[in-house]
């Protein structure tokens, strides 16, 4: 009998929700419903093969006769075990570092053991259309994603090598092409939008983790857009888990730990209470 998951049980992320987690990331949550197993690695994002996250992934794969793996950051539309991502992952790790984080390590490990994998992410056009259905506007998505991009560049300490003007133009061109949009935004449009909706002028120094934190009732529009996107992603990932169990009995998923927190109510509703494990 196929397993059915209630995607409406996905929760918005919050600080209060994170405080209910059983351990600090990474940890393994293993569910068993009538010999249907889900091994959920709640990862602490890492690039280092000596990290606890990488060790937990390898241990989980090799000790549990995994049939199928779901990974974060890869579009589900690419299908099972796309060769381009296998090639991408195999090129990493020579110095013990994986620029593709634990997703690259998981793919490389699964490929070496002939275990099929698939991405758990929706297409960007799906996210965009769903946001419009939730009464967000085109510029909310375009300008939020630009804000996030600049914040990530700041965190990676590569902003000094970039031109904000060029980054903005390239970002707009990319989104217009990908989403088939008929819009033309200027950098001044972005600044006006940011100040109107985020209660202060845009500045690099003012970009902090909370700027794009997924707070469903946040004071900043970037926070509310982030929350809506996270919920849509998590609901989609739950549907990928549901689909995986149609052909497999021993499924593994590797996602950032915060996603486990927001997805756990939906998963537990179908699979029951898990057993937890740390290294």
Residue 81: closest CA among 54, 101, 108: 108
Q: Does residue 148 have a cis bond before it (omega within 30 degrees)? A: no
Beta bridge partners of 275: 30
Q: Find the radius of gyration of the CA atoms of the chain.
A: 19
User: In Å, how far are 148, 184, 190 from 171, measured between CA atoms?
Assistant: 11, 12, 12
- Per-residue pLDDT band at 156 (split at 50, 70, 90): confident
DSSP three-state, residue 117:
strand
- Per-residue pLDDT band at 140 (split at 50, 70, 90): very high
Is the separation of the CB atoms in 5 and 239 below 8 Å? yes
Tens digits of residue pLDDT in 35-57: 999 999 999 999 999 999 999 99
Is the separation of the CB atoms in 97 and 144 below 8 Å? no
Q: What is the pLDDT of residue 159?
A: 82
Dist CA 199 CA 225 (whole Å): 15
Is the separation of the CB atoms in 150 and 204 below 8 Å? yes
Q: What is the SS3 string spanning 209-229?
A: HHHHCCCCCCCCHHHHHHHHH
Tens digits of residue pLDDT in 200-245: 999 999 999 999 999 999 999 999 999 999 999 999 999 999 999 9
Beta bridge partners of 71: 119, 254
Where helices occur in 7-137 by DSSP H, the ranges are 15-18, 52-63, 83-90, 101-112, 124-133
Q: What is the pLDDT of residue 20?
A: 84
Dist CA 224 CA 13 (whole Å): 11
pLDDT higher at 160 or 84: 84
Does the structure show a pLDDT above 90 at 247?
Answer: yes
């Amino acid at each position: 009998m196929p397993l059915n998951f209630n995607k409406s049980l996905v929760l918005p992320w919050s600080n209060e929700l994170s405080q209910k987690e059983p351990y600090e990331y990474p940890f393994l949550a293993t569910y068993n419903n009538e010999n249907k197993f889900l091994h959920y690695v709640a990862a602490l994002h890492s690039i280092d093969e000596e990290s606890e996250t990488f060790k937990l992934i390898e241990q989980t794969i090799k000790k549990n006769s995994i049939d199928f793996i779901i990974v974060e950051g890869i579009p589900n539309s690419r299908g099972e075990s796309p060769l381009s991502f296998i090639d991408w992952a195999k090129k990493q790790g020579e110095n013990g570092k994986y620029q593709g984080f634990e997703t690259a390590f998981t793919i490389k490990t699964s490929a070496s053991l002939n275990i099929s994998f698939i991405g758990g992410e929706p297409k960007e056009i799906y996210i965009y259309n769903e946001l419009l259905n939730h009464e967000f506007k085109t510029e909310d998505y375009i300008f939020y994603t630009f804000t996030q991009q600049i914040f990530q560049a700041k965190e990676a300490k590569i902003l000094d090598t970039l031109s904000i003007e060029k980054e903005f133009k390239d970002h707009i061109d990319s989104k217009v092409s990908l989403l088939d949009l008929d819009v033309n935004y200027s950098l001044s449009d972005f600044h006006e939008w940011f100040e109107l909706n985020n209660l202060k002028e845009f500045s690099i120094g003012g970009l902090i983790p909370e700027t794009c934190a997924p707070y469903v009732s946040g004071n900043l529009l970037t926070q509310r857009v982030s929350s809506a996107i996270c919920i849509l992603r998590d609901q989609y990932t739950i549907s990928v888990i549901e689909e995986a169990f149609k052909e497999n009995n021993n499924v593994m998923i590797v996602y950032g730990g915060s996603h486990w927190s927001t997805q756990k109510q939906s998963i537990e509703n179908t699979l029951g209470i898990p057993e937890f494990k740390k290294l």
